[in-house]
Amino acid sequence: MDAKKTRELDAREAMAKVRASLPIFQWKKSILDTVRNSRVVIVVGETGSGKTTQIPQYIFESKMTAPTKRIAVTQPRRVAAITVAQRVAEEMGSVIGTGPVGYCVRFDDTTTPNTKLKFMTDGMLVREALLSPSLDAYSVIVLDEAHERSLQTDILFGVVKRALAVRKDLRVVVMSATLDVGLFESFFKESAPAVLRIPGRMHPVEIFYTAKALPDYLDAVLVTTLQIHLDNPDNNGSVLVFLTGQDDIETMEGLLTDYGTRLPATAAKLLVCPIFSAMPREAQMLAFEPAPRGVRKVILATNIAETSITINGVRFVVDAGLVKQRSFVGHMEHLQVESISQAQAWQRSGRAGREAPGVCYRLFPEEKFEELEPRAVPEIKRVSLEVVVLQLKVMGIDDIIGFDFIERPNTNNLLKALEKLYALGAFNTDGSLTPRGRTMASLPVDPMCAVMLLKALELGCAADALSVVAMLSVESIFYSPREQKEKAASSRAQFVSVDGDQIMLLNVFNAYNQTASKQRGKWCRDHFINHRAMQRVEKVREQLTGYLSKVAETDAVVTASALPDTVPVRKAIVAGFFLNAAMRTKSALMSKASFQTMCNAVKEDVKVHPSSVLFMRNPPPRYVVFNELVFTSKHYIRNLVPIEKDWLVEAAPQFFKKVDQMHQ
Ligand code: CDP
Ligand code: MG
């Protein structure tokens, strides 16, 4: 046997050993027996016990399912879907894209006709259900991370329940990291679900709180992490830090890397591993690699590392107790940093005690912990429901209010979503779906962006609209390092447009796109633009172009070159976002731009966000539409374009005739 073959065999043996050492391994037979005997199985097991990576493999290896059908494993988060698929492919000695394992997340589908084990985001499976409500391609559907209660997983509960009723060959496995599974059990009671509880192995975790609330959470994270590192020279366990999002992760990565070069000569080196969804795949996988000898790994993650993914070797957890999530406040949804629940705090601290006793530093006082909600509010009760209402309609579910939700959303929110979709032209007056509604659902963007893209097709500015939507889909295009704030601002100034923020984003995209591929990295550095973010924009744009070309039935219209005039693109934005129209108030002429929203039942006073190109504009435009409402101490509108009042009337006469008369 040649050396390469021996090495491969050794690696496979080592992998088999690792697999056999997971707590779930001893349960393999009983898991398979249960799945054979029950159409619905609920598996509860501590995070890291091997549910996600092993159970789908066991089912696949057992050959209990029809060879022509697939096994789907859903995840609420794209990073989890990708990294888990890669891990499983590796364990099976196969390669993503050719072998039996593949993943499918929005804007990135690696599955082929050979794929048998398909890891996917819950949202992608819902999209498949639009075309095939009984999910005919699958013999087993694994709904993973059910405890997370993401919006799309919740919808899938209803979808698979309907599919179970029509397909006797379908099996459903629900996997959860928390014990509390009564809701899942009672939802599936007609199928007599079997519940399997896999005991975990947990080591004690010592918890520390701060004496007082801390004003600057990033500073506290930095100090605590360095302290852990210097105080524990004999224990090179990794530190897992929970942060709120990409921005904070990147800031912390910079700070820690910088401090890392100034550590005492005797201290071990630090290896900082960020993990968040917008980063390239290979970089995501790096976080899972063991640290080299004598080096301490610091993993900077969002709450993805709470239960969705497990990185071995963690002995210290730093938890600021915060999470960034979508929430509905007043009339509009927005991203907001909020306190986690007690259950989440326990999950986070548990990550330190998987392999040995660990320590968790909660960067808030103990009294604060006592005040936290015991459990997080499920997403379906927090967010706007247009997307799911449209999806349910496309699946042929007419009575949305009567749909069998695993947990009912607020009826008022459902009605609001129905109204909004009606305003966007998705429904006829009798509530049935219009062809336009169906087309909207086929585009993987929210209904407002979908309408904007469809209007852009009509107006001949689809290429520009695609660039704008792609740019808006990515966080943090710009960055400004502390020491070079002014330089960054003046570099940004060259893209500024009086026609608004989306046009500025368009200018950035066009300038980037016109730069030769090889020069783009440098171009981004020179202009304080995040190259990774731009690469993601390119990818999103490319995929969206594909979807829109299908709708247009030709790519000629979609890829037609950009127009010098910004009016068509702004009109397209109005077509999608007219419900977010705002009008300058009288006081705006004296103070800084203040506006009042035009379409809400309650008119809200809003200010232009300081990051907007229209922030300092004097006088402010009379009418704008905005993409986003941001809540801090005040209500701010962000990403806005100035518009003409006539465009509103043109886009939605039923809404704006009245306004027109009122303000003449
Ligand atoms: O789903 P559950 O939380 O029960 O566990 P899992 O995600 O299947 O993880 C089982 C084991 O696989 C853990 O020890 C992980 O550290 C390991 N794993 C890994 O080493 N690399 C990955 N990309 C994913 C999992
Ligand atoms: Mg898992």
Binned at pLDDT 50, 70 and 90, residue 564 comes out as confident
Query: What per-residue confidence (pLDDT) applies to 589?
Result: 56
Q: Compute the distance between CA of residue 23 and CA of residue 51 in angstroms, rounded to an integer.
A: 9
CB 273 within 8 A of CB 282: no
For the structural domain made of 22-197, what CATH number should be given? 3.40.50.300
Domain limits, CATH 3.40.50.300, in the chain: 22-197, 205-379
Q: Is the shortest distance between the CB of 51 and ligand 1 below 6 Å? A: yes
Amino acid at position 32, single letter: L
| Joined tokens for residue 495 | 């893209």
What are the tens digits of pLDDT across the range 210-268? 999 998 999 999 999 999 999 999 888 999 999 998 889 989 999 999 999 999 988 99
* Three-state DSSP state, 270: strand
69: helix, strand or coil: coil
DSSP one-letter string for 516-553: -GGGHHHHHHHTTB-HHHHHHHHHHHHHHHHHHHHHHT
Termini Cα distance of the chain: 88
Q: Tell me how far apart the alpha carbons of residues 90 and 580 are, in angstroms, rounded to a whole number.
A: 47
CB 579 within 8 A of CB 618: no
- pLDDT attached to residue 630: 77
Q: How far is the CA of 372 from the centre of ligand 2 (A)?
A: 25
Amino acid at position 164, single letter? L
Give the residue, by CA position, lying nearest to ligand 1 atom 17: 310
CB-based burial of residue 663 (10 Å sphere; 0-12 exposed, 13-18 middle, 19+ buried)? exposed
State which amino acid sits at residue 252: M
**pLDDT of 42-94, one tens digit each?**
999 989 999 999 999 999 999 888 889 999 999 999 999 999 999 999 999 99
Q: Report which of 208, 207, 211, 238 is spatially closest to residue 225, judged by C-alpha positions.
A: 238
In the numeric block, which tokens belong to residue 119? 């890891």
Taking Cα atoms as reference points, which of 180, 177, 176 lies closest to residue 347? 177
**In percent, how much of the chain has pLDDT > 70?**
95
**Token pair recorded at residue 130:** 């639009």
In this structure, of 87-101, 262-276, 549-563, the range with the lowest mean pLDDT score is 549-563
CA of 24 to the centre of ligand 1 (A): 11
Does the beta carbon of 312 sit less than 6 angstroms from any atom of ligand 1?
A: yes
Percent with pLDDT over 90 in the chain? 68
- Nearest ligand to the C-alpha of residue 55? 1
Spatial separation of the C-alpha atoms in residues 567 and 393, rounded to whole Å: 33
- Segment 188-208 shows an average pLDDT of 92
The CATH number of the structural domain formed by 205-379 is 3.40.50.300
Instruction: Report how far residue 377's alpha carbon sits from residue 161's, in angstroms, rounded to the nearest whole number.
Output: 23
Please classify residue 425 by burial: count the beta carbons closer than 10 Å to its beta carbon, then call 0-12 exposed, 13-18 middle and 19+ buried.
middle
Q: Whose CA is nearest to atom 15 of ligand 1?
A: 310
pLDDT (0 to 100) of residue 235: 83
Q: How far is the CA of 305 from the centre of ligand 2 (A)?
A: 10
* Residue 339: strand pairing partners: 322
Q: What is the pLDDT of residue 136?
A: 97
Q: How far is the CA of 298 from the centre of ligand 1 (A)?
A: 18
SS3 state of residue 12: helix
374 and 341 Cβ atoms separated by less than 8 Å: yes
Q: Is 308 near ligand 1, meaning CB less than 6 Å away?
A: no
The Cα 16–Cα 10 span in angstroms is: 10
Mean pLDDT of 503-510: 95
- Cα separation, 387 vs 171, in Å, equals 27
Residues 569/573/578/579 CA torsion (nearest 10 deg): -170
Among 18, 22, 53, residue to substitute to test ligand 1 (most atoms within 8 Å of Cβ)? 53
Q: Give the pLDDT confidence score for residue 561 in this predicted structure.
A: 64
How many angstroms separate the Cα of 490 from the Cα of each of 493, 510, 522, 528, 544? 5, 19, 17, 10, 32
Q: Has residue 599 got a pLDDT over 90? A: no
Report whether pLDDT(661) > 70.
no
Decide whether any atom of ligand 1 lies within 6 Å of the 50 Cβ: yes
Instruction: Provide the token pair at 619.
Output: 């006088």
Strand, coil or helix: what is 375? coil
Question: Region 156-172: what's the mean pLDDT?
Answer: 96
Q: Is the CB of 354 under 6 A from ligand 1?
A: no
Backbone angles phi, psi at 92, to 5 degrees: -90, 5
Say if ligand 1 is within 6 A of residue 83 CB.
Answer: yes
Torsion, CA 384, CA 386, CA 388, CA 393, rounded to 10: 150
| Beta strand pairing call for 295-301 and 269-275 | parallel
The span from the CA of 545 to the CA of 523, in Å, is 24
As a whole number of angstroms, the distance between CA 19 and CA 655 comes to 60
The structure tokens 């209990």 sit at 64
Residue 504 pLDDT: 95
Q: Is 285 helix (H, G, I), strand (E, B) or coil?
A: helix
Strand partners, 192: none
Q: At 73, phi and psi to the nearest 5?
A: -125, 115
Q: At what angle do helices 122-131 and 386-394 cross, to 10 degrees?
A: 30
Pocket of ligand 1 contains residue 49 by CB under 6 Å: yes
Report how far ligand 2's centroid is from the alpha carbon of 289 (Å): 18
Nearest-atom number in ligand 1 for the CA of 47 is: 3
* Eight-class DSSP state of 384: -
- What is the per-residue pLDDT for 180? 81
Q: Could you identify the residue written with the tokens 């740019």?
A: 471
Tokens of 598: 């035009």
Atom of ligand 1 nearest to the CA of 312: 16
Three-state secondary structure call for residue 154:
helix
Prediction ipTM score: 0.99
DSSP state for residue 38 in the 8-state scheme: -
Does residue 107 line the site of ligand 1, with CB under 6 A?
Answer: no
Q: 497: closest CA among 614, 608, 616, 595?
A: 614
Whether residue 48 has its Cβ less than 6 Å from ligand 1? yes
Over residues 581-595, the mean pLDDT reads 74
288 lines ligand 1 (CB under 6 A): yes
Distance CA 225, CA 241 (A): 8
The amino acid at residue 504 is M
- Say how many C-beta atoms besides its own lie within 10 A of residue 61's C-beta: 11
pLDDT for residue 664 is more than 50: no
Give pLDDT, residue 658: 55
CA distance 427 to 420: 10
* 47 Cβ inside 6 Å of ligand 1: yes
Nearest C-alpha to atom 23 of ligand 1 is from which residue?
87
128-160 CB burial, b ≥16 within 10 A, e <16 = bbbeebbbeebbbbbbbbbbbbbbbbbbbbbbb
Reference 452, options 653, 629, 625; nearest CA is: 625
Confidence of residue 550 (pLDDT cuts 50, 70, 90): very high
Chain-centroid distance, C-alpha 598:
30
Environment class of residue 412 by beta-carbon count within 10 Å: exposed (0-12), middle (13-18) or buried (19+)? exposed
Rounded Cα–Cα distance for residues 421 and 403 (Å): 18
Atom of ligand 1 nearest to the CA of 311: 16
- Going by C-alpha positions, the residue among 45, 77, 134 that lies closest to residue 302 is 77
Peptide bond into 435 cis (omega under 30): no
For the chain, the maximum distance between any two Cα atoms, rounded to a whole number of angstroms, is: 88
- For residue 516, the model assigns a pLDDT of 96
Between 558 and 585, the higher pLDDT residue: 585
